[in-house]
């Protein structure tokens, strides 16, 4: 009996000194910190494509509110899918995606795909096929539409101003020649038409009908 009692006491002591397995804490279950997605618009030298498609889901009005739980949840889901699809399809050029809005029909997704440069933007047909073939979302395939977005700044061409002096006296008052010159001459720049005083009818006609891009000055001598 003494031996049995001693064994029991030893077992109880061993059990009491064995620490129980700790339940996972909230911090332990979140091993990786959540990093906010970059959803900035394309800027600088970045290129972009506008992408829209319909999800086979029922639309609700709270998807119009960018602060609603429904909007942020669907935004996160779609962005995750788009980033996965296009990073795999265009690993060297794809940067990020962003949602521009949701609308009715079933749920129409408006989005923008951003690429590292304007020269690295892929063909829209390749963008459409990548989403059609690789997305895990339930998309109405026929609604997928990609459009290249280009931002081009074209400087206005600057035409230097020139001055052309025309003296009708060189025509020796040949009325027919003066009239012909007046009706056919086209000059770009500032034109100075010099006539004699009193001006002949042909000279007056020349000064009044000369076609000029710029300014026309008539000096009577």
CA distance 136 to 146: 18
The dihedral sign for the CA sequence 172, 177, 180, 184: negative
Condensed to tens digits (0 to 9), the pLDDT of residues 42-53 reads 999 999 999 999
Residues 44 and 114 in one domain: yes
Instruction: Please tell me the distance from the alpha carbon of residue 143 to that of residue 128, in angstroms, as a whole number.
Output: 10
Supply the mean pLDDT for the chain.
Answer: 72
Total domains in the fold of the chain: 2
- Residue 136: predicted pLDDT: 97
Range with lowest mean pLDDT among 2-6, 73-77, 105-109, 132-136: 2-6
Kindly state the helix (H) or strand (E) to which residue 50 belongs, with its residue range: strand 47-55
- Give the model's pLDDT for residue 36: 62
Mention every residue, 6+ apart, whose C-beta is less than 8 A from residue 122. Answer: 49, 89, 90, 93, 115
Cβ-contact 171, 203 below 8 angstroms: no
- 198, 213, 206: which is closest to 167 by C-alpha? 206
Q: Are 98 and 190 part of one and the same domain?
A: no
72 has pLDDT over 60: yes
Q: Rounded to an integer, what distance in angstroms lies between the CA atom of residue 87 and that of residue 116?
A: 12
Q: Is residue 170 part of a domain?
A: yes
- Please give the residue range of the domain that contains residue 87: 38-149
- % of the chain exceeding 90 in pLDDT: 47
DSSP string covering 64-133, please? G-TTSHHHHHHHHHHHHHHHHHHHHHSTTTEEEEEEEEEEETTEEEEEEEEESSGGGPPPHHHHHHHHHH
Give yes or no: residues 145 and 170 share one domain: no
The verdict on 45 and 129 lying in the same domain is: yes
The answer to whether position 50 is within a domain reads: yes
Q: Which of the 8 DSSP states describes residue 62?
A: G
Tokens 């429904």: give the residue: 70
User: What CA–CA distances, in Å, run from 207 to 173, 187, 197?
Assistant: 14, 13, 13
Same domain, 99 and 177: no
| Average pLDDT of the segment spanning 150-160 | 45
């Amino acid at each position: 009996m003494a031996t049995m009692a001693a064994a029991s006491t030893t077992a109880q002591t061993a059990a009491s000194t064995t620490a129980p397995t700790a339940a996972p804490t909230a911090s332990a279950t979140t091993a990786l910190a959540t990093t906010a997605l970059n959803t900035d618009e394309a800027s600088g030298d970045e290129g972009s494509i506008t992408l829209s498609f319909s999800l086979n889901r029922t639309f609700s009005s709270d998807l119009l509110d960018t602060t609603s739980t429904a909007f942020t949840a669907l935004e996160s889901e779609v962005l995750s899918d788009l980033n996965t699809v296009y990073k795999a399809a265009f690993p060297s050029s794809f940067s990020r995606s962003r949602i521009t809005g949701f609308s009715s029909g079933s749920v129409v997704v408006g989005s923008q795909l951003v690429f590292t440069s304007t020269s690295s933007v892929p063909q829209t047909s390749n963008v459409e096929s990548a989403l059609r073939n690789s997305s895990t979302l339930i998309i109405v395939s026929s609604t997928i539409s990609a459009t290249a977005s280009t931002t081009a700044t074209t400087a206005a061409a600057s035409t230097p101003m020139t001055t052309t002096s025309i003296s009708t006296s060189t025509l020796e008052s040949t009325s027919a020649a003066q009239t012909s010159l007046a009706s056919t001459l086209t000059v770009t720049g500032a034109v100075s038409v010099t006539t004699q005083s009193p001006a002949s009818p042909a000279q007056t006609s020349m000064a009044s009908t000369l076609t000029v891009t710029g300014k026309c000055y008539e000096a009577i001598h």
